Amino acid sequence: MDKDLASIQEARDLAVAARTAQIAWAKASQADVDRVCAAMAEAAYQASERLGRMASEETGYGVPVHKKLKNEFGSKAVWESIKEIPTVGVLRHDAANKVYEIAWPMGVVAALTPSTNPTSTAMFKVLIAVKARDAIIVAPHPSAVRCSYETVKLMAQAAEDAGAPPGLISCMQNISLPGTQELMNHKYVALILATGGSAMVKAAHSVGKPAYGVGPGNVPVYVDRSADLEKAASYIVSSKSFDFSTICATEQAVVADKPIARRLAELMQSNGAYFVEPAQADALRKLLFTSEGGINAATVGKSPQYLAGMAGFSVPESARILVAPLSEVGRSEPLSREKLTTVLGWYEADGWEAGCNRCIELIQFGGRGHSLVIHATNQDVIMAFGLEKPVFRIAVNTMGTLGAIGLTTGVMPSMTLGAGGIGGSITGDNITVYHMFNVKRLAYETAPPPEIVFQPANPPAGPSPLEIEKVVRGLVNDLLHLQ
């Protein structure tokens, strides 16, 4: 069978099976739901190392041991964050207002997952969907089909062993654009949960169904003169080098307060940052992006040594990231874009107000609504950034990579980070189980209706002059038409 036709047929078959399973799963008790989710989380957690290695080998992106950590986060940490959340029956009772809030599942979820974080994102999405009593069909990126399918298959088996109906959790194996479109458009799919590039997210939103779509970030990190510079330098380099920068909340450009810029650069160098020369930066500009500004997929999730070799120069084995000093933001400076690899921009700004403006420039160029990192101890500066920046995650004195997803901060653990209306998303939240079910309200009367509604309305005295004129005009038009 033609690949596209096979993909379309697979999408249809999985959607029908998912709908049948979801109808049964919607009747599950909270105990049933939690038992199944706990079993899936444990199975995925135990396979974190193997699946992380598979993801790195199949895609060629990132660091296997870092993918293991992301898998542990996508399974255990995510489950720990949602396991106490009620998702069945009456959620809350407002006795004063006589309102009961009742959980209602979305139905069948189509989950599009990226090549950069294929296994951890699949784990996370399966858990939040099934916890909400939804069925889920994962449509993986074409370059990550094998590791994604293995992840979903493992979780589906654990779920069925714990009592879930067959077909509740599935993953497409025949991936094509027509097949993915068929899945998203299928009559049984109620919600689309898309994580990946801008084109994929745009396609998800264009279907006309409810969709949580999140795309790229262009995360600046501002380092204020009040910051703990040793900590900031260590965190920035380690965060940017984590899994070779394949998380969308990874720092993309440092904005250093001028009085501390030189010292920060020295400390970053001691932590493995290699500051490139102008000619080397120009080579990276040509390497990382196409002439239209698109990312060169061959450079995604690669080590600085690999990138330098592709660009025609060499760097020490001790280099963990490449840092390019920049002066402009926008189309004229490709390196001011999001870079899903171990290249970091470097700007200097004199004072937090100037740093604030530079950060906004970077956000507006490619990361509206996504995330920002600030290193500072001056609470006034921190709050100014919190109030003024057009993003929905502001990580303070932590790593962008791990802070925005909720590993090192108190935000909800998630592998799908909403960018809000300004970023083209329906929400600015970290997507979690709350977004996977609706709430219906059973509301009793709390006040009698106004007396006037029980009184008969006075019949009109007769047609108004305007109404008579309209009738006459209609009759005249009819007569003229007959002639």
Distances (CA, A) of 59 to 4, 145, 297, 339, 425: 22, 9, 10, 17, 27
226-244 in b/e form (b: 16+ CB < 10 A) is bbebeebbbbbbbbbbbbb
Tokens 């296997």 identify what position?
Answer: 64
| DSSP string across 229-252 | HHHHHHHHHHHHHGGGT-STTSEE
E strand map for 106-230: 108-112, 135-139, 169-171, 189-195, 211-214, 219-223
Domain 219-407 is in which class?
alpha beta
Pair of tokens at residue 137: 């069909």
Sheet holding 169-171, edge to edge: 169-171, 135-139, 108-112, 189-195, 211-214
Domains in the chain: boundaries: 3-215+432-440, 219-407
Is 248 a residue of the active site? Answer: yes
Residue tagged active-site, from 37, 147, 171, 248: 248
Pairing between β-strand 391-396 and β-strand 90-94 as defined by DSSP bridges: unpaired
Query: For the structural domain made of 3-215+432-440, what CATH number should be given?
Result: 3.40.605.10
* pTM metric for this prediction: 0.91
**Cβ distance 158 to 130 under 8 Å?**
no
- Residue 146's H or E segment, with its range, is helix 145-161
Question: Could you give the CA distance from residue 414 to residue 404 in angstroms, rounded to a whole number?
Answer: 9
Tell me the pLDDT of the chain (483 aa) as tens digits: 699 999 999 999 999 999 999 999 999 999 999 999 999 999 999 999 999 999 999 999 999 999 999 999 999 999 999 999 999 999 999 999 999 999 999 999 999 999 999 999 999 999 999 999 999 999 999 999 999 999 999 999 999 999 999 999 999 999 999 999 999 999 999 999 998 777 777 888 888 899 998 767 899 999 999 999 999 999 999 999 999 999 999 999 999 999 999 999 999 999 999 999 999 999 999 999 988 888 999 999 999 999 999 999 999 999 999 999 999 999 999 999 999 999 999 999 999 999 999 999 999 998 899 999 999 999 999 999 999 889 999 999 999 999 999 999 999 999 999 999 888 888 999 999 999 999 999 999 999 999 999 998 876 667 777 777 887 787 777 766 665
The distance of Cα 371 from the centroid of its chain, to the nearest Å, equals 11
